[in-house]
Structure formats: structure tokens, C-alpha cells
Chain A
Amino acid sequence: LAKTTQPISMDSYEGQEVNITCSHNNIATNDYITWYQQFPSQGPRFIIQGYKTKVTNEVASLFIPADRKSSTLSLPRVSLSDTAVYYCLVAPMDSSYKLIFGSGTRLLVRP
């Protein structure tokens, strides 16, 4: 499984756009990129998943360049409630369901 690297922590202010970049240099052709969010004292929650280019949903956008060696999770206009740990994962398209969670990025949104 491809290893991912992301910043340990980030700070932001309410109303700002936050971009968290994840590096996955060894991503394989059949890998998807998935992001999860974890609030304190809760289990992780799926945010968004993509394979290439751009994916957008009601929560976030995911930008994936052509070489797919990195991806950027974009959170528009964050609020205090977006304070959480964000995990970038790479999951193969084959029958393996083994998700490997790294250390994640601890996002702190300040008023």
C-alpha cells in the first residue's frame, strides 16, 4: 500500500479556506485517494474520495494532479467545528479493504 505524508498540524481562522496537501509518491495505478475526518472522542468519518482531477461534494473539494503523486483537500470557509484530525489514505481498487491510517493532520480553527 502506498505510504502517505501530510503535515502534522495546521492552524486557520474562521471563514478562511484551508488546503491540506498529502503526498503519495508511490501511488499505484489502481489506487483511490480517500480523506477521513476525526473529531475528538469520535470515530473517523469519510469526507471525500477521488481518483483523478477534481471531486467536489457538500463538505469539501479534492484536487488531484495528473501524476497523482499528491492530493489536496480543500475546506471552504472553515468554522470552529471543522477543528479535527484529517487523514489522507490511499486504497487499492482490488479486493483489499485494508485501510492504513497515518498520523493525520491536526487542524485547529481559531475564532
Chain B
Amino acid sequence: DAGVIQSPRHEVTEMGQEVTLRCKPISGHDYLFWYRQTMMRGLELLIYFNNNVPIDDSGMPEDRFSAKMPNASFSNLKIQPSEPRDSAVYFCASSPAGTPGNEQFFGPGTRLTVL
């Protein structure tokens, strides 16, 4: 298995533009997570899905952020409009159903820079 796949790996955009980050979880995994990592705030959970349904989006910073999971093989995280403070590394992770606190498999991340 190729692991969790994220695209693009790097994104540079200007303030006000829409940004779309993409994730393909490991096949067969029921849970998908979106995290954001910055030096100041560390690694934060933004939202997670179970069987394509959003379960907890309390970490989503504001209405400019949205995430969807239209099917078991794909999720995207959109920021519209983007702001410089959104600059961070965004990670997607997936995990199989089973024992809670189960191992999460992280993707390589997307480094977003908003100018």
C-alpha cells in the first residue's frame, strides 16, 4: 500500500485565493483526520470523519475552512479566502476501525504558504 497520499506537497498562494488540499486515505481505513501544524501551536486536529461522515469539526478555525469526504477514497480541505496566518503544514491521517486510540497513519503533509 502506498500509504496516505496528499497533494499538493507544497502550495504557495496569495491572500484571498481559494486553496484546496487533497487526501487519499489508506484503502479500508474507516477514519480520516485533518491536522494542522505550526511552530506556535504545534499539531492541531481540525476535523475527522468516520465512514465519510464528519464526526468532530470543533478544531476547524473558522468558516473559511471546510472539509468534505465524498467517498471512502478521497477528502479535501478548502480554505476560502486564504490568509497569511493559514500558513502551516497540513497533514491528513487515516486509521482502521477497531480499538479506540488506534494507530493513525499520517501522510507526508502539504506545506501551505499564503503570501
A100 and B91: CB pair below 8 A?
no
Q: Which of A24-73 contact B (CB under 8 A)?
A: 31-32, 34, 41-46, 49
Q: How many residues of A contact B (CB 8 A)?
A: 26
Residues of A within 8 A of B106 (CB): 42-45
Known contacts being A97-B95, A98-B56, is A46 close to B103, with CB within 8 Å? yes
**Is B70's beta carbon under 8 Å from chain A?**
no
**Is A11's beta carbon under 8 Å from chain B?**
no
B103 and A99: CB pair below 8 A?
no
Q: How many residues of B contact A (CB 8 A)?
A: 26
A34 and B101: CB pair below 8 A?
yes
Interface of chain A, main secondary structure: loop
**Is A88's beta carbon under 8 Å from chain B?**
no
Interface of chain B, main secondary structure: strand
**Residue among B35, B95, B101, B104 having the largest count of chain A Cβ atoms under 10 Å:** B101
Which among B13-21, B40-48, B71-79, B80-88 touches the partner chain? B40-48
B100 and A43: CB pair below 8 A?
no
Known contacts being A97-B31, A100-B45, is A42 close to B108, with CB within 8 Å? yes
Residues of A within 8 A of B107 (CB): 43
B interface residue numbers (CB < 8 A to A): 4, 31, 33, 35, 42-45, 48, 50, 55-56, 91, 93, 95, 99-109
New A-B contacts (12) at CB < 8 Å, excluding given A44-B91, A97-B100, A100-B45: A32-B100, A42-B108, A43-B107, A43-B108, A96-B100, A97-B95, A97-B104, A99-B45, A99-B101, A99-B104, A101-B43, A101-B44
For this complex, 24 residue pairs linking A to B, each with C-beta atoms less than 8 Å apart, are: A32-B99, A41-B109, A42-B109, A43-B4, A43-B91, A43-B106, A43-B108, A43-B109, A46-B105, A89-B101, A91-B100, A92-B101, A93-B99, A96-B100, A97-B31, A97-B100, A97-B104, A98-B45, A99-B104, A101-B35, A101-B43, A101-B44, A102-B42, A104-B42
